[in-house]
Amino acid sequence: MARLRRRACIALFLFTLFIFGTMMGMRTLKPSDGFSDLAPGLELVPFAERGEKRSVSHEAVSQPQVATSSDAQAPAPSVYYDLHIFYYMWYGNPRFEGKYLHWDHVMVPHWDPKISASYPKGRHSPPEDIGSSFYPELGPYSSRDPEVLEEHMNQLRAAAIGKNALTYVSSSSQQGAQTHSLMLDTKRRPQSYNLCIHVAFHIQPYKGRDDHTVHENIKYIIDKYGSHAAFYKYKTSTGRSLPLFYIYDSYLTPPESWANLFTQSGSHSLRNTPYDAMFIALLVEEGHKHDILSAGYDGMYTYFASNGFSFGSSHQNWKAIKAFCDSNNLLFIPSVGPGYIDTSIRPWNNHNTRNRVNGKYYETSLQAALMVRPELVSITSFNEWHEGTQIEKAVPKKTLTRLYLDYLPHQPNMYLELTRRWAEHFSKEKEQCSSDHVRPLLAD
């Protein structure tokens, strides 16, 4: 009898453990992961319904069909210049730089010493231990490696992405030199290669950055690359073709200072000069909308791939942000991403992790962006490995001390393929919107 009770208890324990495990698994789809924080009326289309064509409206956006293994062998399609991606050139390895750069990222301590004491400290030790929760197919590469650059351009073309937003600090920095190397590399390529991937600049914060130093950055970039075949230019509604610059953490500089640069009456205004451009500010908090407007920016982007992390990155706010931008003649560029995990460098930040859920999180983000009918969409990121937002190819890897995340059961190119399908979808939706807009005019 006692044996039967013991077996019953064991069975009950195992059943309870199963239920607990199931509940914990379901928690990966909690609201903060981005599945119930969507704008009203937006629902993720079930897999079984993909391929069903829906008309575009503010209530629903159709989804492209899911990739299959046979589709992955298809020739690379045309690229689309309305889809931008943030690309990082800060990586280095002993072969090209004499040491690892960024792959050996320090584990950033929490600002509260009591919390920080509970987490590991120190640096990562490549090549087996890198500052990322995923492991790149190319290994811990150098951003200066020509073979790496060529493979990255091939992956971007496979994803149908036509515009790279390169990180840029200053002309004298390592990234400035690597940017120059990339631009020269594309210039040496055949004309078809030059015209494939266009480059814009994502100006990062640096010590002493203000409206004066950014003025010098813009002049330097346009003087050096403005006539380059790969230099991206955005065609405005008035028919002008202007360079486009993303200004990361723009809120760190007061709007009054930016106004000196971006308004017509500014003390050293770039407007109506050879250095005029489309300047896009980072929207984090809701109040930043009005600062961006008064500063004279041309638009705003949201960057962060963690839905709910900030006002700007929350999908449910994009409709209101788009309405604000439309009413003030600003460009709204929502930023989407495949997921977020930075615990390899910020081990205390697991509450901001957003699980990929085999691509569902990415597709939810893309669908939320398309629903507000933006002119442009930005992707965070191609290769920001530290924050786990990359769509670059990743592979399974296990070491004595690390078990890396991967894209299984899918192939390493899974997110490139998803991006290509959504890029094609975005292009078709824009064409449909344009034809719907032109038809009444023709009738008149």
412-421 pLDDT, tens digit each: 999 999 999 9
Q: Is the pLDDT of residue 17 over 70?
A: no
**For residues 363 and 330, is the Cβ–Cβ distance under 8 A?**
no
pLDDT of the residue at 164: 81
Q: In the chain, pLDDT over 90 holds for what percent of residues?
A: 67
Q: What is the mean pLDDT of residues 97-114?
A: 97
CA distance 421 to 415: 10
Six-digit token pair at 56?
Answer: 């575009």
pTM of this structure? 0.81
CA distance 3 to 24: 31
Q: What is the DSSP string of 141-202?
A: --TT-HHHHHHHHHHHHHTTEEEEEEEE--TTSHHHHHHHHHHHHHHHS-HHHHTTSEEEEE
Could you give the C-alpha distances from 365 to 34, 133, 146, in angstroms and in order?
8, 21, 32
Contacts of 250 (CB under 8 A, 6+ apart): 258, 281, 282, 292, 295, 297
Residue 54: CB atoms within 10 A of its CB come to 12
**Burial of residue 369 (number of CB atoms within 10 Å: 0-12, 13-18, 19+):** buried
Q: What is the mean pLDDT of residues 237-242?
A: 92
pLDDT of the residue at 1: 53
3-state secondary structure of 116: helix
Q: What is the mean pLDDT of residues 165-173?
A: 67
Could you give the C-alpha distances from 347 to 60, 247, 323, 356, in angstroms and in order?
38, 27, 37, 18
403: β partners? 398
Q: Is the pLDDT of residue 439 over 70?
A: no
Could you give the C-alpha distances from 87 to 133, 161, 179, 203, 230, in angstroms and in order?
18, 12, 11, 12, 15
Six-digit token pair at 33?
Answer: 């992961």
Q: Is the pLDDT of residue 237 over 90?
A: no
Could you give the C-alpha distances from 361 to 354, 367, 385, in angstroms and in order?
8, 10, 17
pLDDT of the residue at 202: 94
Q: What is the mean pLDDT of residues 160-179?
A: 67
CA distance 9 to 349: 38
Q: Is the pLDDT of residue 433 over 50?
A: yes
Q: What are phi and psi of 210, to 5 degrees?
A: -150, -170
pLDDT bracket for residue 378 (50, 70, 90): very high
pLDDT bracket for residue 429 (50, 70, 90): confident
pLDDT bracket for residue 178 (50, 70, 90): low
**For residues 306 and 350, is the Cβ–Cβ distance under 8 A?**
no
**For residues 136 and 393, is the Cβ–Cβ distance under 8 A?**
yes
H/E segment holding residue 80:
strand 80-87
How do residues 44-87 score in pLDDT, each as one tens digit? 433 233 333 333 333 344 555 444 333 444 454 588 889 999 99
CA distance 288 to 295: 10
Chain centroid offset of residue 219 CA: 26
203: β partners? 168, 247
3-state secondary structure of 69: coil
